[in-house]
Structure 1
């Protein structure tokens, strides 16, 4: 049996997973990676060494840049993600991974609040986000974010 609790470290709440099979697991990425292994879904952690490193890189980005970001940081995060996703389907290339799931949950509150013009300005992030929110088993309790398929504004209006 497993139980999920929160631990307060400074001003942050950190998830802790308690199970009967071993020591408590602390931290979002640690718990998520453990659950992917338990679910016999190791592909969510990446296939090759390079792929695994990319997954880890984006999980770290989520924890260090996205979580607890200030409003001023949001534009930089969206710009970084938009540029990176220009020629990629998912964060770690062409395969859906844990990085996509956790980043989706990390930026959902940001994407929900974007105006149509901002969604269009960051169309690679918007495309990726829409793709991930429709991936089986991802969205669960979060409301869907409406993404327009056709541009409403021309580039001169940004």
Structure 2
């Protein structure tokens, strides 16, 4: 299925303090099934589900009120769903890490200067790959490593996930 999976959506819901909802997999797509609400249809697709979770949370500021910033966040959520989702394959991972490294060169967060739900989603989707990288590989993608190390410092975001080491000192000795 890829990295944008039910576990990832559940972690994002937990981060947003949104009660767990019923998630299903159908034709390799995640579906959010409404809780016994009449005339409510299910929500499909990673990006759409994440945006719905933010809208139903107390963290609605995770998607900016400004139209340009809102569009950028939505664009990055789609990038996560389409491109990063398959970064568990080595050839895709290299391309994604090179693209992200370029984007993160001059900004602390994926959409600019403030953390958004796109950063949160990207963290959970990339976690398993980052955990498997050697220190040399992390050094190769220095801007992605800086971003990841910064964002993982939030204990609420990390939840029960291990803190990944980015100690690059031993490489340069």
Q: Give the TM-score range, shorter chain.
A: 0.7 to 0.9
Count of residue correspondences: 152
Between the two structures, name the one with larger relative contact order (CA 8 Å, sep ≥ 6).
2
Contact 2:29 2:44 in 1 (8 A): no
Shift of 1:75: 0.9
TM-score scaled to structure 2, two decimals?
Answer: 0.78
C-alpha distance in 2 between matches for 1:44 and 1:149: 31
Q: 1:121 matched to which residue of 2?
A: 140
Deviation digits for residues 1-26 of structure 1 (CA, Å, limit 9, x no counterpart): 863222221xx241423223433222
Shift of 1:38: 1.5
Q: 1:50 matched to which residue of 2?
A: 68
Deviation digits for residues 74-128 of structure 1 (CA, Å, limit 9, x no counterpart): 1111111011101101011111100000011111111111111111111110010
Match status 1:63 vs 2:86: no
**What RMSD in Å do the two structures reach over aligned CA positions?**
2.0
Deviation digits for residues 10-55 of structure 1 (CA, Å, limit 9, x no counterpart): xx24142322343322222222212212223222112311111111
Contact 1:126 1:147 in 2 (8 A): yes
Between Structure 1 and Structure 2, the one with more strand by share is: 1
Shift of 1:153: 3.3
Change beyond 3 A, Cα 1:150–1:49:
farther
The secondary structure found in structure 2 opposite 1:117 is helix
The secondary structure found in structure 1 opposite 2:133 is coil
Q: 1:84 matched to which residue of 2?
A: 103
For structure 2, the 5+ residue unaligned runs are 1-18
Residue correspondence of structure 1 range 1-150 to structure 2 within 5 A? 3-9=21-27, 12-21=28-37, 22-69=40-87, 70-148=89-167, 150=169
C-alpha distance in 1 between matches for 2:170 and 2:61: 35
C-alpha distance in 1 between matches for 2:160 and 2:48: 22
The secondary structure found in structure 1 opposite 2:119 is helix
